[in-house]
Amino acid sequence: MDRYTFSGSVPYFLDYNRVRGVGGSSLGWEGYALRFHANDFRLRSLYGIGEDWPIGYEDLEPYYRAAESALGVAGASDDPWASPRSSPFPLPPFAFSYSDGLFARACERVGIVLHHLPQARNSVAYAGRSQCRACGTCYVCPTGAKASVDLTHVPQAEATGNARVVTDATVLRLEVDRSNRVTSVVYAGRDRRERRVSAPLFVLAAGGVETARLLLLSMSESSPTGLANASGLVGKYFMCHPVIDITGRVPKKAYPYRVGFSTAMSRQFAVDRDRARQGAFYLEFLNFPRDGQPEDLALASGKWGEALRRHVETEFGHAVGIRVYCEQLPDPRNSIVLNPQVKDYFGNPAPHITCNIGPHERATLAEGATVAKRILEAMGASRIQSSDLSLAAHQIGTHRMGRDPHTSVVDSTLRAHDVPNLYLVGSGCLVTTSSSPPGLTTAALAIRASEHIASLRRPAAGA
């Protein structure tokens, strides 16, 4: 099902980075729920790079608040670079870990401010879901403490009696009439038999890669280059977040891996800077560094028996790590297109992903690595090293929003410019990446779009 091809300077692993199931990518996300900063919406105006959004932070703030309430976000007001909030976080923050305390003291010595990382997981019981039990298997939370759509939204929708979830089904294409309105969605199950669902209005929310692919697969006489693609920009401006980890070994045990998610970060390098010269990045202080896990220590030691046990007991627990999370600028050459040479289970062309990391991002990561190494040195760490550059799981920009139908795919309500009854919801509508993960912003935009769609059914005032 996850057949795809890739070209570019850094691999993007689609088979790992998305989840097929009820709940989609929320089934496997890390749960980090950061708002974008107000400046993230105005890159072109403020710094002369990227693009401006058709909406600003002030337009989205009420929907950020609604998204935090719906997901159950735990956080604190200790981020000096956060944009103004109209209300506090719905849940109290998670306590800093033991290693966070080590990081905090080192950060203070080098002039860096460490603060809480907002989480879409329950620090206390909330909305019928359990408090986090610190199981450590956080990509797939076994207790329901981490917010995911299968727990937070699907049951509520089905309980209304107005929604039905069709499982074991893959959408193949959308069909339109001569006026370019969508009339039906075509889907199939494992038997490959095509079925249709008709409706007056459609919302497509399949992720940045698959939404773009479905639009390109939905070619018709009225849309010869793909549905909602009069601008030619469907699939263009694919973005992610370039990432590197800086790791080391501290003299005394830091007790990592007791928490399966990070609880501390710093956005000191994400906002107050000339982002044309210095790209935005944030630092994530890892509770689960890549290096130093027991199995890795054991396999690398060459030891057996009692000597192996003593080696792992002595060596384990000293690893520390800092992740550098970098903003990626929009580039139309980074894209999702169809690859007719590779077919999926249903015989349709698979997506081909192109993603190259440019000099702006590489310079930003290099600066972030320097800052992270300075912190580790202040901790007295040895064996400091950098991981290879990798890409986060995010799928951004492939059906970007904007005011001008010639330079964007959807408007500020996420309605397709040239398909009046089609809405494209998801991280693909984001114009720029910020340095923050897109999950909370995507949720806020979805709530905003749903409010607009609901308003279409309301009678006019005085009617």
434 band by pLDDT with thresholds 50, 70 and 90: very high
Q: Is residue 211 a part of any domain in this protein?
A: yes
pLDDT of residue 2: 76
Q: What is the mean pLDDT of residues 425-434?
A: 98
- With 60 as the cut, is the pLDDT of residue 153 above it? yes
How much is the average pLDDT of 259-271? 95
**With contact defined as beta carbons under 8 Å apart, do 384 and 376 qualify?**
yes
Whole-angstrom Cα distance, residue 11 to residue 388?
11
pLDDT value, residue 222? 86
What's the pLDDT tens digit per position in 275-333? Answer: 998 899 999 999 988 777 888 889 989 999 999 999 999 889 999 999 999 999 999 99
Quote the percentage of the chain above a pLDDT of 70: 98
Number of domains in the chain: 1
Let me know if residue 367 belongs to a domain.
yes
**Does 109 have pLDDT greater than 90?**
yes
- pLDDT value for 137: 84
* First-last CA distance in the chain: 49
The mean pLDDT value for 367-377 works out to 98
Query: What's the 3-state SS for the chain?
Result: CCCCEEEECCCCCHHHHCCCCCCHHHHCCCCECCCCCHHHHEHHHHHCCCCECCCCHHHHHHHHHHHHHHHCCECCCCCCCCCCCCCCCCECCCCCCHHHHHHHHHHHHHCCCCEECCECECCCCECCECCCCCCCCCCCCCCCCECCHHHHCHHHHHHCCCCCCCCCCEEEEEEECCCCCEEEEEEECCCCCEEEEECCCEEECCCHHHHHHHHHHCCCCCCCCCCCCCCCCCCECCECCEEEEEEEECCCCCCCCCCCCCCEEECCCCCCCCCCCCCCEEEEEECCCCCCCHHHHHHHHCCCHHHHHHHHHHHCCCEEEEEEEECCCCCCCCEEEEEEEEECCCCCEEEEEEECCCHHHHHHHHHHHHHHHHHHHHCCCEEEEECCCEECCCCECCCCECCCCCCCCECCCCEECCCCCEEECCHHHCCCCCCCCCHHHHHHHHHHHHHHHHHHCCCCCCC
CATH label of the domain that carries residue 419: 3.50.50.60
- Alpha carbons 454 and 438: distance in angstroms, whole number: 24
Least confident of 2-16, 107-121, 234-248, 320-334: 2-16
Q: Mean pLDDT across the chain, nearest whole number?
A: 94
- What's the pLDDT score for residue 315? 87
Q: Give the pLDDT of residue 296.
A: 86
For residue 462, being part of any structural domain is answered with no
Tell me how crowded residue 344 is: count the other CB atoms within 10 A of its CB.
16
- Characterize 311-323 residue by residue with b for buried, 16 or more Cβ atoms within 10 angstroms of its Cβ, and e for exposed: bbeebbbbbbbbb
Q: pLDDT (tens digit, 9 = 90+) per residue, 375-394?
A: 999 999 999 999 999 999 99
Please report the pLDDT score of residue 288 as a whole number: 87
What is the pLDDT at residue 462?
53
Q: Cα dist. 94→73, 104, 115, 124, 419 in Å?
A: 10, 15, 11, 9, 44
At 167-203, the pLDDT tens digits run 999 999 999 999 999 999 999 999 999 999 999 999 9
Is a pLDDT exceeding 60 seen at residue 463? no
Q: What does R_g of the chain's alpha carbons equal in angstroms?
A: 23
What confidence score (pLDDT) does residue 84 get? Answer: 96
Q: Is 25 within a domain?
A: yes
The dihedral through the CA atoms of 51, 53, 57, 63 has a sign that is: negative
Question: Does 369 have pLDDT greater than 60?
Answer: yes
Whether 13 is covered by a domain: the verdict is yes
Distance CA 232, CA 112 (A): 44
The pLDDT of residue 311 is 92
User: Within a domain: residue 287?
Assistant: yes
Burial of 179 (0-12, 13-18, 19+ CB in 10 A): exposed
**Residue 382 pLDDT:** 96
| Cα–Cα distance, 460 to 204 (Å, whole number) | 27
* Count of Cβ atoms closer than 10 Å to residue 177 Cβ: 11
d(CA 118, CA 388): 27
- pLDDT score recorded for residue 17: 85
| Domain presence at residue 463 | no
The arithmetic mean of pLDDT across residues 26-46, rounded, is 95
**Contact (Cβ atoms closer than 8 angstroms) between residue 1 and residue 20:** yes
pLDDT of residue 155: 92
| pLDDT value for 457 | 80
Average pLDDT over residues 3-16: 92
- Residue 1 pLDDT > 60: no
Distance CA 337, CA 7 (A): 11
pLDDT at 259: 87
Supply the range of the domain harboring residue 145. 5-456
Per-residue pLDDT at 111: 98
The per-residue pLDDT for 459 is: 62
